[in-house]
Amino acid sequence: MQTNFRGRDFIGDLDFSKEEVETVLDVAWDLKRKRALGEPHPLLRDKTLAMLFFFTSTRTRGSFEAGMAQLGGHAAFIDSQTTQISHGDTAKEIGEIFGRYFDGISIRQCDWNFGNQYINEVARASRVPVLNMQCDVYHPFQCLADLMTIIEKKGRDLRRKKVVVSWAYAASYSKPISVPQSLILQMTRFGCDVVLAHPPEFKLMPDIMQQAQENARKYRMGFEVTDDMDAAFRDADVVYPKSWGPLLTTTGKEEGKSLIEKYRSWITDARRMALAKEDAIYMHCLPADRGLEVTDEVIDGPHSVVYDEAENRLHAQKAVMALTMS
């Protein structure tokens, strides 16, 4: 068990070592047990968290807000559009000032080629921990919840479990690439054979790919990339298909939409789920575009663990907050 968390930022998935992630999960399960038993656990009594959102949220806002209350503290929701942040407050000013008002700062800023830079700039100016609620590069808390869920469903020994991270079609908008990037970084450290499936135009960032490949070599696991969704699903233990934008190909809205429309067949339906193992689980960070990314039959079916996965956001986030903000 690792104990050196107090005062640390959590911005990228690899900010915490594999052993530190294991500690976070142990604490998360303990807090989940306490929550189930109704045992009070005010580990952050009188502590305050600033939650700064540049993008809308359902699960992230709800789970951080509820988590701070359950830990005995308070979370303040701050919308960038209804504050002076939209009129000139700089990242340095936010870090300096909120770092004096609050005991922790959490930020969701997903603008391409800006979000991660902004969060790190706030962190450099802050005297309190800065937590990444999602940026253009990483979604580390989602990935902790995902890992927690996979271990609950498949056991602690994940060696040779085939985890498929796949692109999926969705027409709503060009979604960030942070979820698949966090997944390939974290899962390659925990014994999984990771398969990344996407159309050619939907690549992930080269340095993230390189780090995932290095993790796979270090831990002697597989890391494969394919443009064949069916081939990826065959004999999978875990499938995690979700949409993301072709951001490394184009940032143009119309061109991006045109590329997305080429791959309407990339949907998770009963036929594709049948290619995976009989006890395979279907995961999604939500919200899913029903009928486009996934059929109702799958997301509401026996393979789906999306609600357990969403619940684990609460417990994983509480663990990190308790460890870094106490």
Report the percentage of the chain scoring pLDDT > 70: 100
| Per-residue tokens: 187 | 């899962």
Whole-angstrom Cα distance, residue 281 to residue 225? 20
Q: What is the pLDDT of residues 199-214, one digit of tens each?
A: 999 999 999 999 999 9
- DSSP assigned state of 82: G
Q: What is the pLDDT of residues 152-191, one digit of tens each?
A: 999 999 999 999 999 999 987 789 999 999 999 999 999 9
pLDDT of residue 204: 98
Q: What is the pLDDT of residues 65-106, one digit of tens each?
A: 999 999 999 999 999 999 999 889 999 999 999 999 999 999
Whole-angstrom Cα distance, residue 161 to residue 262? 31
Mean pLDDT to the nearest integer, 29-54? 98
The answer, yes or no, to whether residue 216 has pLDDT greater than 80, is yes
The answer, yes or no, to whether residue 232 has pLDDT greater than 80, is yes
Mean pLDDT to the nearest integer, 138-149? 98
Average pLDDT in the chain: 97
Phi-psi label, residue 267: left if phi above 0, alpha if psi -120 to 50, beta otherwise: beta
pLDDT of residue 266: 98
The answer, yes or no, to whether residue 287 has pLDDT greater than 80, is yes
Q: What is the pLDDT of residues 24-37, one digit of tens each?
A: 999 999 999 999 99
Count of beta carbons in the 10 Å neighbourhood of residue 119? 30
Choose among 212, 200, 205, 197: nearest CA to 178.
Answer: 205
| Per-residue tokens: 49 | 């968290």
Domains annotated for the chain, with CATH where assigned, are 13-139+313-325 (3.40.50.1370), 142-309 (3.40.50.1370)
| Per-residue tokens: 132 | 């990444």
pLDDT of residue 318: 99
- The two counts, helices (H) then strands (E), for the chain are 12, 9
Q: What is the pLDDT of residues 243-262, one digit of tens each?
A: 999 999 999 999 999 999 99
* Whole-structure pTM value: 0.97
Q: Classify residue 76 by burial, with Cβ atoms within 10 Å: 0-12, 13-18, 19+.
A: middle
Cis peptide before 241 (omega within 30 of 0): no
64 — pLDDT class (breaks 50, 70, 90): very high
pLDDT of residue 171: 86
pLDDT of residue 86: 87
